[in-house]
């Protein structure tokens, strides 16, 4: 596979659609993308992009047990991959899009080649305009992990990311400096909400 790198400087609130489409095209051709969210920048790729997953594992020194999150455009798309009861649906509807990752029981449609025999999955619906437009353009979910290299804090400056990634098949969607605070992770698998990590999202969630 040919290696192509792109650094797209984008308006954080009103990105140009041609830039969104360029990033989507690269993802469809097997690249991974560094995408701004309302929390930190995240590395994202299509579930079938196995070479991109291997490249990210090597870049971040992740083992085969690393737990990818699944980034979706809305609750209807999430419902294709996870099971949620009425209480969980109400909770997600109130909090998302937003700075939360919800752990939910996986459905039988979750790609086994990526997730193996996992019984749960973290679901995200970011509120950042660039990420939202990218998901709308692709019309399918993305795997995600944080933009953090071994023995480093989460990278906030896209220019630093470019220096680390310019030799790889990747696209950096540069919306300026990102944040350092991660999502709040809430486990809903056992019926009761259990906070696994307090991040940017308030918990208990806003009423």
- Whether residue 62 has a cis bond before it, omega within 30° of 0: no
Q: Residues of 7-18 as b/e, b for ≥16 C-beta within 10 angstroms?
A: bbebeeeebeee
Q: Please report the pLDDT score of residue 65 as a whole number.
A: 81
The two three-digit tokens of residue 81, written as one number: 């991959």
Which residues lie closer than 8 Å to 203 by C-beta, 6 or more apart?
184, 186, 195
Q: Please report the pLDDT score of residue 195 as a whole number.
A: 96
Instruction: Quote the mean pLDDT of the chain.
Output: 93
- Per-residue pLDDT tens for 169-186? 999 999 999 999 999 999
- Averaged pLDDT, 49-72: 92
Question: Is the full-model pTM beyond 0.85?
Answer: yes
- Per-residue pLDDT tens for 11-54? 999 999 999 999 999 999 999 999 999 999 999 999 999 999 99
Ordered by start, the domain boundaries in the chain are 5-197
The torsion angle over the Cα atoms of residues 7, 13, 16 and 21, rounded to 10 degrees, is 70
Checking if the pLDDT of 118 tops 90, the result is no
Q: Please report the pLDDT score of residue 2 as a whole number.
A: 66
Q: Which architecture characterizes domain 5-197 according to CATH? A: Alpha-Beta Complex (3.90)
pLDDT band, residue 73 (cuts 50/70/90): very high
Checking if the pLDDT of 207 tops 70, the result is no
């Amino acid at each position: 596979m040919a290696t192509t790198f792109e650094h797209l400087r984008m308006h954080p609130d009103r990105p140009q659609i041609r830039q969104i489409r360029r990033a989507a095209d690269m993802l469809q051709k097997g690249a991974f993308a560094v995408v701004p969210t309302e929390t930190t920048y995240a590395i994202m790729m299509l579930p079938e992009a196995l070479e991109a997953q291997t490249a990210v594992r090597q870049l971040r020194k992740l083992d085969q047990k690393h737990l990818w999150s699944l980034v979706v455009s809305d609750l209807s798309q999430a419902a294709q991959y996870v099971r949620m009861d009425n209480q969980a649906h109400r909770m997600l509807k109130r909090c998302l899009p937003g700075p939360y990752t919800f752990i939910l029981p996986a459905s039988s449609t979750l790609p086994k080649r990526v997730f193996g025999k996992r019984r749960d999955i973290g679901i995200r619906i970011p509120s950042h305009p660039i990420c939202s437009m990218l998901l709308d353009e692709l019309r399918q979910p993305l795997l995600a992990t944080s933009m953090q290299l071994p023995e480093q804090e989460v990278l906030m400056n896209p220019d630093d990311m470019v220096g680390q990634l310019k030799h790889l098949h990747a696209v950096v969607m540069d919306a300026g400096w990102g944040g350092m605070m991660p999502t709040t992770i809430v486990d809903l698998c056992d019926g009761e909400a259990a906070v696994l990590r307090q991040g940017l999202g308030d918990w208990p969630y806003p009423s």
